[in-house]
Homo-oligomer: A and B are copies of this chain.
Amino acid sequence: MRDLSGDHRWMSLNTATVRKQGALLDIIEACARHGIRAIDPWRDQVAATGIERAAKAIRDAGLALSGYCRGGMFTADAARRIEARDDNRRAVDEAKTLGAACLVLVAGGLPQYSRPGSTPSKDIAAAQAQVEDGIAELFDYARTAGMALAIEPLHPMTAADRACVNTMRQALDLCDRIDPARSGMLGVALDVYHVWWDFELMAQIERAGPRRLLAFHVCDWLVPTADTVNDRGMMGDGIIDIPRIRAAVEAQGFGGCVEVEIFSNRWWSAPMDEVLATAIARMKTAV
C-alpha cells in the first residue's frame, strides 16, 4: 500500500467537487496553486469552456486526466436510442482529445429519468439488459479509438434515476460477458461511497484484479445522510474505512490516482481553496 502521508502526488480532483465555485479554467488554475497534478473533468464543464481550449489549458498546466466524466445513460426508449449511442461516441472522442485514462460510465436508471421524455417504465430488468447492450456496442467503438471504459457501480439508492448497475459483482459480470479476454479496455471505476457497504466488496476487488480496476474514487458516507445525491462527506468525516478499501485495491496492483469526488451542498458553499486544502490534508490522514 502506498504511503500517502507525505505529499499528494497521487491525488486527482474530480472537478464536480468544486463545480459551483468556478468554471473549468478556474479549477485548473486552483489545481496549479495547490500542486494537484491530475483531474477528472465533466463533459458539461468542458463544453462550457470549449474542448480545444480545455485541452490546451490541461496540457499547459501539465495535468493528467484520471478519467473523464461521463458516458452512459444507456437506458432510453426506442426513439432516443440512436441519440444515446451517438452521445456516448462523442464522449469517447472527447476523452481521447483530452487524453483521459478512461471514460467513466454511469449506466442510467429507468429510461424516463436517464433520457427525459422517454416512455415511463418500471422494468428494471429491461433497463439492466439495455445497459449491457449499450456498453457492448460502445465497447467496440471505444476499443477502436483506444479509450478504456470504466463502469461505475452506483449506490442502490440511485438505481431508479441514475444507474441500475449497483454492485461490483454486477459490473464485473458485465465486464466478463462483454470483454472475456480481459483486454484492459473495459473495467470498473470503484467509488468507496457506492460500494463500501457490500459484504462481497473484498472478494469482488480480488476478482477484478489490475486489468479491471481502472479508477478509484474517494469521499465519505455521512450519518445521517440528508440527501441521496448531494450529501457526500469529506474523507474522514464519515464512517467508511477508506484505507482498508484502498489497501485491497492496491494489493491487486492498482497504481493510479486516488480521485476525490464529493457532491455536497455543504462543500459547494465553501471557497474553492478551502475545499482543495481540506481534501489535500485528508488525503494524507484519512485515505
A residues neighboring B (CB under 8 Å): 110, 113, 122-125, 128, 155-157, 159-161, 164-167, 169-170, 173, 196-200, 202, 221, 223-225, 228, 239-241
Evaluate contact between B196 and A124: CB separation under 8 angstroms: yes
Q: How many copies does the complex hold?
A: 2
Other-chain contact of A110, B155, B165, B239 (Cβ < 8 Å): B239
Q: Shortest beta-carbon distance, A184 to chain B, in Å?
A: 24
Instruction: Provide the bound-state CA to CA distance between A200 and B170, in Å.
Output: 9
A239 touching B160 in the complex, CB below 8 Å, given contacts A124-B196, A166-B199: yes
Evaluate contact between B122 and A239: CB separation under 8 angstroms: yes
Chain A interface, DSSP helix/strand/loop, else mixed: loop
Evaluate contact between B198 and A156: CB separation under 8 angstroms: yes
A124 touching B197 in the complex, CB below 8 Å, given contacts A228-B224, A228-B225: yes
Q: Shortest beta-carbon distance, A67 to chain B, in Å?
A: 24
Q: Shortest beta-carbon distance, A215 to chain B, in Å?
A: 21
The residue of chain B having its C-beta at the shortest distance from the C-beta of A169 within the complex is B200
Contacts A122-B241, A160-B221, A160-B223 aside, 13 further interface pairs with beta carbons under 8 A come to: A110-B239, A113-B223, A122-B240, A124-B196, A125-B199, A125-B202, A128-B199, A156-B156, A164-B197, A165-B199, A167-B167, A225-B228, A228-B228
